[in-house]
Structure 1
Amino acid sequence: MNPHDPILPTAPAAPRRFLPMLLVLFVGSGCAALIYEIVWLQLLQLVIGSTAVSLAVLLGTFMGGMCLGSLLLPRVVSVRRHPLRVYALLELGIGAIGLVVLFGMPYVEQVYSHYAGHGAPGIWLRGAVAAVCLLPPTLLMGATLPAIARWVETDAEGVSWLGFFYGGNLAGAVFGCLLAGFYLLRVHDMATATYVAFALNLAVAAIALALAASLARHEVPAGPTTNENARPAAGAWAVYLAIALSGMSALGAEVVWTRLLSLMLGGTVYTFSLILAVFLIGLGIGSTLGAILTRGAVSSRVALGICQWFLTAAIAWTAVMISQSLPYWPIVPGLSPSPWYIFQLDLVRCLWAILPPACLWGASFPLALAAVAARGQDPGRLVGGVYAANTIGAIAGALVFSLLLVPTIGTAGAERVLIGLALTAALVALLPLVRRSSGTLRLGGATTLAAAVGVAGCLAWSVTPVPWELVAFGRATPSLLAQSAPGIVKDVPEDPGDADVFCTYVGEGTNVSVAVTMTADGVRSFHGAGKIQASTLAADMRLQRMLGHLPALVHKKPESVLVVACGAGITAGTFVLHPDVKRVVICDIEPLVPTIVTPMFGVENYHVVDGIARENPHTVNGKQVKVVYDDGRHFLRTTPEKFDIITSDPIDPWVKGCAALNTVEYYQMCRDHLNPGGIVCLWIPLYESNLATSKSVIATFFQVFPNGILWSNEHKAFGSDAVWSNERDGFGYDAVLFGQIEPTVIDVDELQGRLDRPDHKLVKQSLREVGFGEFNQEGTDLLTTYSGEAPLLKEWSRGAQINTDRNLRLQYLAGMWLNSNMGEKILSGILAYYQFPAQLFVGSPESVQTLRQALTRAGRKSSPELARDRAGLSR
């Protein structure tokens, strides 16, 4: 809008005085909206899954509802309706639907589980469920800004206030994001968070109604001041297109940078909250500055175009900072005595990297409003149109970048596309202004735009991929680089002996970035979420084989197996050695893993997935092996199949979303999908954890499997006689949770007898390769990993926070303490409650006595020592 245009009639003086109060209301509204968004997306992910497709469906539905709401309200609600009363009713409706979604989700879950499947029909059903749950409240959310916009006029001051409202809404969203992520969901649960958001809706609605009642009735007359049929300013199409491209680049950047920063900071719920909060802070600051700028800009369209061109430099800044600067900041998280210090550093890194472009995206919205505003225009339609264009672009950006661009051209390529989008938005906004009325170009303007294109090209050229070390080692990258400097860590060393670690594969998949590395002494590792998830290191090989062989040998005759999370495939591969097994189903969320990563560990996993076609079974050693690309929880919810064994080896519980594979409800799903005599086996880390986290995992599992057993992976199994010494301390490293519906009884003689049979020769060899059988028979050595069972650990787990779908407590506990190293203390505390389980291990007196002595040599305490140690370790 040009400030030299004639000043339009304004609203009455008394209502204009209350605009700052409306700004405060919008802060509360934004806070409630972000709390709802976090809760709803978390609730729905539990139902329709947490794959990239499911997340895209959820995000697209959420933002699509906002877009429709902003477009529909000005068309279905008359301009004569009191803006404050309309706004209050919208807030009340949002709160009411928020409660309906919370209490109605179990019923939605039942219906979805009954009809859900895989493939295209499954995706359509996910979309239908998301629409039923999210469209009603998001339609109302999207309508709030157009509704309140009718309180102002479309003059320079009024449009400026619209920018302030938008900024206030974003300021509230920042507070809601941090309140939900760092307090409401960490300390309470999703129900409490919903009640807080509902209370905010009620308070905002009550204040709005009180303001409406205290003032004389405010109407915007449908006359010379406001004309419902008035059209936007000439050439508005260019502004709508520019703001749509700006929205596309903004959400695309959020997808890309959240992925990269979560590798660097650790993919916890707190990291995602900080990244979102910083992004919203930037949008809020930019919106406020843009609102101020609209009052003094000679041409808002020119300002919008320049803002988009500055975005090309700001995007390049962030890309360079993430790939070439932040990974090398000398930050060692393990040195911090408190996670709150690390959060401060994480906040600074996020601000340094992403605040500049976020501010420019925030400024774009009020500048676009001013650029299309025309005298007499309905403010609701003005805001609704610009908001809808921006949101449509944002939806496209989120979907295209997450599902298409990142998996195909990588994050660096996606960042170059972001620069191209910002440049295109600048050209779209500015190009009409360099044309004369005769149609010819102004030479100076054309030259300036050509130079801008050249500069943007140079900026795009400056973008480089993040170092592979960041994909592989995440937040530990500075420590790795410090240990290997100078010049020891190399991408492709001329001689492997010249490098401690080098990379053999890096891939950025639809759901996660992965890498495979090798050390100079031949240890290969699979990396996901910025850390090692599986390797050929002795400690890991022992655990991975143990997770498969233990349930397969305890079960009387296992025929069908479900493996949740493929990884290096070593656990899945153990099952193809067992003669009774006929079918193995492997469920993994990321297609890159079974197709590319797992075959790289073919020797160790017995080539379990080599050459397998997508979701089509093949035969390995006479066993039918099938790979399903889905998250394990969603697969279990939607499959009618039952199994003799279910093993689960997901990414660490501190990674956002993984706590859903450790809830009471998930374990109940596993239990319900077991055949009679079936077994559930679950990997749990004791490293990168604290006592409260480990108690939560173990107590939650034991709540569903009250006869459950804990087996620990101690590769230094017999103290001074250790044969598995390496760079990792084996005591308290990780463990296996084991559960059956029936009480478990293990016949020691029968188990060893099976191993001695000719058809179990490969199983026996597989156990020996990882150290079982060095001191006793293989079966006895395997059983010496016993560390406790549910009835004996009730006292140890007293006060544990049970992880449920409604609180997902584990991801908040684990995310807080991922930089701690208390595994040895945790296991020592568990072993202080050790008693030889005579009801668990049966057989000949000689075999049972041999096992009892082996357990004693493995560090399990005898009864006289138990009371003494318990006093010191239970606290």
Structure 2
Amino acid sequence: MPDTKKMIGSAVGEVLAYNTVGAILGAAFSGFVIIYIIGIERSLQMLTIVNIGCGLLVLAGIKNVRLMNWTEAGIAAALLIIGINHDILRMWNMKYFAVFRANQPDAFNTPDKIKEALENTDVLYYKEGVEAIVSSIKIKGGNQAFLTNGRVEASDTPGDLQLQFTLGHLPMLLHRNPENVLVIGLGSGITLGATSVHPGVKEITLAELAPEVLGVARTFGRYNNYVLDNPKLRIIFNDGRNFLLTTKEKYDVITADPIHPWFRGAGYLYTTEYFKLASEHLREGGVMCQWLPIYELTIADLKSVVKTFTMHFKHTALWLTYYDSVIIGSNTPIVFDEAELERRISVPAVSNALKLVMMGSARDLLSYFAMGTDGMKAFSEGGTINTDNNLYLEFSAPLSMGKGFLMTNNLDAIVKHRESILPYLLPAKEQSARGKQFRPWKTYIEAAGVYDKAHILLLGEKFNAGFNYLLNELDRKYPWYAPGRFLKSEYSSLMAREPRLLKQTPPLVMMDERGAKVTIEISAVLSRISDEMAIVDFVDNNARVIYGHLNVPGLNRDEFINRFVDDVLSSIQKAYLKEARIAFDRGKRLPSLESMMFKIKEIVTSKIHESESRLVNSPS
């Protein structure tokens, strides 16, 4: 009896030990090896085959050895087939995962919308990793974007480019002579690339957690100066905070573009412990720069970040870009030397990038300054310190997801604490020259007052009479004010993308199956996705029916579009007159609604196919 108990105990112990070791090795192997090599779907399929195969092997072993050998061969063959043939047994549409946006579910809630999204989007890169699924996509004729788990993290829209260039260029320009730079988080690589073009930089260290993001950054090469091929670059595959914990190295500039605070684990990059760590890794005169989104966060959240940040930097500043903010910290005074800034911005690679986002001169760049040390302390008064222990932001930020109205609330709260830039400017040596230096900035402060009101209305999409008045004021009094020029440019782009009626048929009167008169008008509506892509829809607005649409890629296609619209609408009118004659000959007053609707759909579909063929044969 004791031997039996001992045998049973030993057997149970061995089973538990094997199970524990198997669980550890299985998790490690699947997460860190096979997902990288063959992806999530193939990994699941292979593991399913292995699990089923193990069960079959046990059953086969009970019967006879030969059956067991055949089972082993079958399992090996199945694994080999799905390992070699990348298309067999595919159940997931990888392109769908690449283009899906989690914060825009309405754009993917019907099969037709999904089909349209897949047809109109090019996938430049897609990779599944342990931390995330990442992709780089480009809307045909439109903008390019970097997605992490279905969330857009960066793009080449003017607003995003402005933020990313600011994160890279601003701290480099504020430091007197940056040589050693740390960039935390790669993303599109635009921020990293911006730091690389400044003369005097000797080494750039990139701390990036997810190796698969490198492929994304390569697709943004024209914006990031192909920085991944820069010999000055050293890449550390590690969490940025962990890297700072393990290195003794200090930096002239640390710039961080972390993901939004509501993203899992991102709150640790906004805590007092992290900011303290960053501050301790700055050299004398070093500058810290960090992204602070003003959307999908509450005013209390912003106050928390700003207060936590200012605890560890004696001197701070906040820049407002189009729909983001950038916070700057240093332990030496932050002084803006206009002449020196102008000289350093004049470097072609720096100037060319900043001109794209209306920051191409010292005055333009400094126009986006919102507040300094005093203003940030006043704004953050009453804020909660975000720590590793309370993780205030980790729990608070997700409650703001999808609440677009918060952006205007936040912007309004920030600009109420806007400061004059004058106390932070390096004054001219001569007293007489100081008046000449400071006088224009007083006008800039007046311009900011008008701009702030217009900015809040624009982000809130309140294009009312008040907004138009403010826009006219910016045009009339402050046409040189860079943030105002950027705002007007964005507003013009928004208006250009509004659907516009091109032409419509005369009223077409028909008779439905109950003998009642029905009048319809077919309208051709133009929507511009970008300068390089337009969409022409044929719709019946009253019945809310879309008969079809044509995607028109390329520049200067107005003449083609007008000819196409005229052709379709005239064909519909001819078809209506023909149906009316047929109805009259049969003794009916009006053509049949059902028959005519079918004819319209047929004509629109046919003309779209003809035009698509012409566009393919003459793409430019």
Q: Deviations over 1:309-342 (max 9, x none)?
A: xxxxxxxxxxxxxxxxxxxxxxxxxxxxxxxxxx
Equivalent residue, structure 2, for 1:831: 415
Match of 2:486 in 1: none
Shift of 1:419: 0.9
Residue by residue, what CA displacement relative to the aligned partner does 1:42-70 show, whole Å, maximum 9, x if unpaired?
A: xxxxxxxxxxxxxxxxxxxxxxxxxxxxx
Q: Is the 8 A contact 1:644 1:678 kept in 2?
A: yes
Counterpart for residue 783 of structure 1: 366
CA shift digits 1:567-606 (9 cap, x unpaired): 1111111123222322222221122223x22221111111
Measured in 1, the distance between the counterparts of 2:131 and 2:147 equals 14
For 1:559, which of 146, 159, 179 is the aligned residue? 179
Residues 513 and 762 of structure 1, relative CA distance in 2, 3 Å threshold: same
Tell me the SS of whatever aligns to 2:420: coil
Measure, in 2, the Cα distance between the counterparts of 1:625 and 1:432. 57
Query: What is the aligned counterpart of 2:168 among 548, 559, 563?
Result: 548
The DSSP-based 3-state class of the residue aligned with 1:737 is strand
Name which of 420, 438, 444 aligns with 2:49. 420
Match of 1:63 in 2: none
Is 1:636 equivalent to 2:244 in the alignment? yes
CA, structure 1 residues 227+567, in 2 after alignment: closer, same or farther (shift >3 Å)?
Answer: same
Tell me whether 1:505 sits opposite 2:125 in the alignment: yes
- Specify which of 356, 375, 382 is matched with residue 792 of structure 1: 375
Letter in 2 for 1:820: K
Deviation at 1:692, TM superposition (A): 2.9
Change (3 A) 1:385 1:415: same
Alpha-carbon shift at residue 656 of structure 1 (Å): 1.8
- Alignment-derived partner of residue 458 in structure 2: none
Distance (Å, rounded) in 2 between the aligned partners of 1:694 and 1:542: 20
- TM-score, normalising length: structure 1: 0.46
- Is 1:801–2:384 an aligned residue pair? yes
4+ long deviations beyond 6 Å? 439-442
CA contact 1:489–1:502 (8 Å) conserved in 2: no
Retained in 2: the 8 A contact 1:544–1:571? yes
Give, in whole Å, the separation in 2 of the partners of 1:836 and 1:466: 53
Give the Å deviation of 1:441. 6.8
Provide closer, same or farther for how the CA distance between residues 848 and 762 of structure 1 changes in structure 2, counting only shifts above 3 A: farther
Q: Distance in 2 between matches of 1:450 and 1:576?
A: 54
**Is 2:208 the counterpart of 1:581?**
no
2:448 pairs, out of 858, 863, 870, with 858
Name the residue aligned to 1:397: 26
Distance 1:396 1:851, change over 3 A: same
Matched, 1:607 2:226: yes
How far apart are the structure 2 equivalents of 1:662 and 1:525? Answer: 25
Take 1:794 and 1:416, find their aligned partners in 2: how far apart are those partners? 55
Q: 2:327 corresponds to which letter in structure 1?
A: L
CA deviations on 1:143-184 (whole Å, 9 max, x unpaired) are xxxxxxxxxxxxxxxxxxxxxxxxxxxxxxxxxxxxxxxxxx
Question: 2:400 aligns to what?
Answer: 817
Amino acid at match of 1:833: H
Q: Which residue of 1 aligns with 2:62?
A: 433
CA contact (8 A) 1:517 1:524 kept: yes
Segments of 5+ residues of structure 1 without an aligned counterpart are 1-223, 232-376, 494-498, 611-617, 715-732, 863-875
1:755 corresponds in structure 2 to 345
Query: Whose relative contact order is higher, 1 or 2, with alpha carbons under 8 Å and at least 6 apart?
Result: 1
Q: Deviations over 1:728-752 (max 9, x none)?
A: xxxxx21111000123121234322
Q: 1:689, 1:817 within 8 Å by CA — same for their partners in 2?
A: yes
**Which has a greater percent of helix?**
1
Question: In 2 relative to 1, CA 463–385 (structure 1 residues): closer, same or farther, beyond 3 Å?
Answer: farther
- The equivalences for 1:650-661 within 5 A come to 650-661=258-269
Post-superposition Cα deviations, 1:505-525, rounded to whole Å, max 9, x if no partner, equal: 211134332101112234211
User: Whose strand proportion is higher, 1 or 2?
Assistant: 2
CA distance in 2, matches of 1:463, 1:477: 26
In the alignment, the residues of structure 1 paired with residue 442 and residue 111 of structure 2 have an alpha-carbon distance, to the nearest angstrom, of 45
SS in 1 for 2:152: strand
Task: Within 5 Å, give how 1:205-604 maps onto structure 2.
Answer: 224=1, 227=3, 230-231=6-7, 377-378=8-9, 381=10, 383-435=12-64, 462=89, 464-465=91-92, 467-476=94-103, 478-482=105-109, 485-486=112-113, 489=116, 491=118, 493=119, 499=120, 501-594=121-214, 596-604=215-223
Whether the aligned pair in 1 keeps the contact of 2:124 and 2:219 (CA below 8 Å) is no
Q: What is the deviation of 1:227?
A: 4.5
Aligned residue type for 2:287: I
> How many residue pairs were aligned?
436
Letter in 2 for 1:584: I
Q: For the Cα contact (< 8 Å) 1:707–1:743, is it kept in 2? A: yes
2:289 partner amino acid: C
Which one-letter code corresponds to 2:438 in the other structure? V
How far 1:790 sits from its partner (Å)? 4.1
Q: Could you tell me whether the CA contact under 8 Å between 1:642 and 1:673 is conserved in 2?
A: yes
Separation in 2 of the partners of 1:845 and 1:485?
Answer: 64
Query: Counterpart of 1:840?
Result: 424
TM-score normalised according to structure 2 size: 0.64
Contact 2:318–2:376 (Cα < 8 Å) also in 1: no
- Gapped regions of structure 2 (runs ≥ 5): 428-433, 453-620
Whether the aligned pair in 1 keeps the contact of 2:60 and 2:67 (CA below 8 Å) is no
Distance in structure 1 (CA, Å) of the matches to 2:59 and 2:148: 44
* 1:450–1:629 Cα change, 3 Å: closer
**Residues 474/418 of structure 1: CA separation in 2 closer, same or farther (3 Å cut):** farther
Q: Percent identity?
A: 31
The residue identity in structure 2 corresponding to 1:513 is: I
Question: What's the C-alpha RMSD, in Å, of the aligned pairs?
Answer: 3.1
